Amino acid sequence: MSARYLLLLGMVTGLVVGCGKSEPPAVTPPQSAATPAPSPAAATPSTAAPATADAALPAPTPQSIAARKLDPEKIKRGAAVYRTHCASCHGPNGEATPNWREQGADGRFPPPPLDGSAHAWHHSTGTLEKMIREGSPGVGGMPAWNGKLTNQEIDDVIVWIKTLWPDEIYDIWYKEIESKQKD
């Protein structure tokens, strides 16, 4: 458990550095970062292979969600916003599609997962809000939601997205990104 934690911590430290440089096409850094990661994992049991480890992490239990102190009303409202506006692209539970790492013929990547198995959790709440507000229309294909969703709706949907993240991801996100206000 703690080995895996350290491993994830190493990953996030590396990834956060890698991701500051290129803001709009946020999909490229995790790809390159996810590939070299398996080597340090060689010493740990095979279940820890990072490329798949994130997806294999246990889903949060209701208790661990409660420990995050996220407002239940926001979670409920955020789930509705997500279902209406985001699920069609990012998947009903933020899981996206299995081919999300594959660049399409138009040079765009499919919508990435938001469930903690990709890159979204490498951003502070403030950055997520900006990404949702501004999107990457034209370049990356994420619509801009500014003016289409209220501040409250954007805030709510971010809270809901955080409930998708496994405990270990959430803990590292909180300690290494949110509390340090990194990108």
Residues of this chain that interact with ligand HEC (CB under 6 A) are: 24-27, 85-86, 88-90, 109, 111-112, 114, 118-120, 128, 131-132, 136, 139-143, 145, 157
How many CA atoms are closer than 13 Å to the CA of 120, on its beta-carbon side? 30
Looking at beta carbons, which residue is closest to ligand HEC? Answer: 140
Q: C-alpha angle 156/170/181, rounded to 5°?
A: 75
Give the nearest distance from C-beta 26 to ligand HEC in angstroms: 4
Cβ 109 to ligand HEC, closest distance in Å?
6
Q: Are 158 and 178 in contact (CB under 8 A)?
A: no
Nearer to ligand HEC, 109 or 170 (CB): 109
Cβ 98 to ligand HEC shortest distance, Å: 15
- Return the number of the residue (14 or 44) whose C-beta is nearest ligand HEC: 14
- Nearest distance from C-beta of residue 129 to ligand HEC, angstroms: 9
- For residue 169, how many C-alpha atoms fall within 13 Å in the half-sphere facing its CB? 27
Q: Give 146 or 179: the residue with its C-beta nearer to ligand HEC.
A: 146
CB 101 → ligand HEC: shortest distance, Å?
Answer: 11
| DSSP result, 16-64 | HHHHSS--S-TTHHHHHHHTTTHHHHTTS-GGG-HHHHHHHSPPPPHHH
Tell me which residue has tokens 């279902």.
Answer: 83
- Judged by CB, which is closer to ligand HEC: 12, or 131? 131
62 to 18, 53, 70, 92, 154: CA distances (angstroms): 33, 21, 11, 19, 23
Q: Please, which residue, 7 or 123, has the CB nearer to ligand HEC?
A: 123
